[in-house]
A = this chain, B = another copy of it.
């Protein structure tokens, strides 16, 4: 009787597990040929790793999931439903957070990190379609400021090579903290977003320059506080990257044909750079990061008083764009929303967008790029 019961329970357990195991598909971010992680139809994810000698194995997707070990040394876990879009995650083996060898890695969290991309119902706009495709080019150049070789990734739109007389507007597009110049092409899928927008006539063909948002001047004393204060990236961008790009690519070089945008830290850098170089940029985009407004501060004092005369500013700037995900951490959501309200109160014309259901992650930024790229260079 006992044996029968155990056997019955075993069958029931198998039956309960079976649907989940048979309906999963490998995530698009898996290394080709890897069956796990698997996506279930309700956006739960099954992870499975071999670690026969480990004491404890977890998956960390913001929330940490303990994995269970079977007799063959495999550890598995099925998560709760995960929001659509791209997420960094870590495999934690006996307390050490590492990359999952079954997934592609991306530069994020200040190191190479595993990523998983959960398909979105509205994901067509960042998939490869049968439309003309641009190229992402890696460009090496020497920076006199940082005294080092740097690399930029440059998207050239479809038709760039076929029209050797044509010149294009340029969007400078920045990643967030802990990421680098590979973020927008890899995690952000910016090439497919631009290809698709251009194909449907929703965006003007443009060059997009993606740089590494960290730069230190070795001749200056090292800041004891570190952080963005010591970062001379805005100076490198304006003083070195823009001239290099205007020399190496067929660009339109007036301010009406130059935009900047960035996410999180890159959004702060965008406002810092453009608001102090209004003669060089006519479009400003901050995705989950915009101007820095301390509580109680007067927005009209910011950036050398550039917002003191809203009419003059509105006349000069063609697009100011600010966005945030509705599920971002409270501090971030409130910060950006307050900034938007301050702009509104001050009479600064801008577009404000809340991405429904997404957090401080790439799905918010893919959506923001899709919108922003459709707003700029519409002269």
Contact = CB atoms under 8 A, between A and B. Distances in A.
B96 A54 contact: yes
Interface of A: 31-33, 49-56, 91, 93-99, 101-102, 104-105, 110-112, 128, 130, 133, 135-142, 149, 154, 161, 164, 185, 191-192, 214, 248-250
B110 A99 contact: no
Contacts of A53: 55-56, 94-96
B99 A112 contact: yes
A131 to B, nearest CB: 10
Contacts of A191: 138, 140
7 contacts: A49-B96, A55-B94, A91-B98, A98-B99, A105-B105, A130-B142, A135-B154
A359 to B, nearest CB: 23
Given A98-B101, A99-B101, 20 more contacts: A31-B111, A49-B96, A50-B96, A51-B95, A51-B96, A52-B95, A54-B93, A54-B95, A54-B96, A55-B55, A93-B93, A93-B94, A94-B94, A98-B98, A102-B111, A104-B112, A112-B112, A128-B140, A136-B138, A138-B191
A55 B111 CA distance: 24
Ordered nearest first, which 10 A-B pairs have the shortest CB separation?
Answer: A53-B95, A164-B164, A135-B137, A54-B94, A98-B98, A128-B149, A51-B96, A105-B112, A99-B99, A101-B111
Given A128-B149, A137-B136, A97 B105 contact: no
A94 B51 contact: yes
A56 B136 CA distance: 42
Contact of A141 (B133, B138, B214): B133
A32 B133 contact: no
Nearest to A180: B32
Nearest to A105: B112
Copies held by the complex: 2
A232 to B, nearest CB: 15
Contacts of A102: 111
B130 A139 contact: no
Contacts of A112: 31, 99, 101, 104-105, 112
A363 B161 CA distance: 34
Contact of A185 (B54, B55, B95, B138): B138
B101 A31 contact: no
Contacts of A130: 142
A232 B164 CA distance: 36
A249 B161 contact: yes
B149 A140 contact: no
A129 to B, nearest CB: 9
A238 to B, nearest CB: 22
Contacts of A136: 137-138
Nearest to A32: B214
